[in-house]
């Protein structure tokens, strides 16, 4: 019975993660592409950041309280939210002059 209950808990948790809206951003030539995305307010979302450059980049957002180094030619998954409506800027800390963007929450 315990094994069955544990299996049910994992199934419910897996279904909950599968329902989160997913958004993708690429890092290309030390820039975020697209550099602005719009996500729904009040929901946890999954952000996949694909670093297409050969060098590492750090996704950093003080407003989102997130920092993640993404090695070259790899990707990272970052969960954010639920968030209130507004704008949440982020930068590529290793290339702040070119790698900038924002998440717009509506």
pLDDT per 10-residue tile (average), the chain, 106 residues: 54 61 98 98 98 98 98 98 98 97 98
DSSP SS3 for 88:
strand
For the chain, the domains span: 21-105
The span from the CA of 92 to the CA of 99, in Å, is 5
Joined tokens for residue 11: 């199934």
Could you tell me the fold of the domain covering 21-105? Answer: Immunoglobulin-like (2.60.40)
Joined tokens for residue 98: 């070119």
For 50, 64, 94, 98, the CA distances from 54, given in Å and listed in that order, are 11, 26, 13, 16
**N residues, the chain:** 106
Joined tokens for residue 90: 């982020």
Q: What pLDDT score was predicted for residue 25?
A: 98
Q: What pLDDT score was predicted for residue 3?
A: 56
The span from the CA of 23 to the CA of 97, in Å, is 24
User: Running DSSP on this structure, what letter comes out for residue 94?
Assistant: G
Q: What pLDDT score was predicted for residue 19?
A: 84
């Amino acid at each position: 019975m315990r094994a069955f209950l544990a299996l049910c808990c994992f199934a419910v948790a897996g279904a909950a993660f599968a329902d989160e809206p997913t958004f993708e951003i690429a890092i290309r030539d030390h820039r975020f592409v697209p550099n602005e995305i719009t996500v729904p307010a009040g929901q946890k979302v999954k952000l996949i950041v694909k670093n297409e450059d050969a060098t590492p980049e750090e996704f950093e957002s003080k407003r989102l309280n997130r920092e993640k180094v993404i090695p070259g030619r790899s990707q990272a998954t970052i969960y954010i939210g639920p968030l209130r409506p507004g704008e949440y800027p982020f930068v590529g800390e290793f290339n702040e002059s070119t790698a900038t963007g924002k998440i717009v929450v509506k």
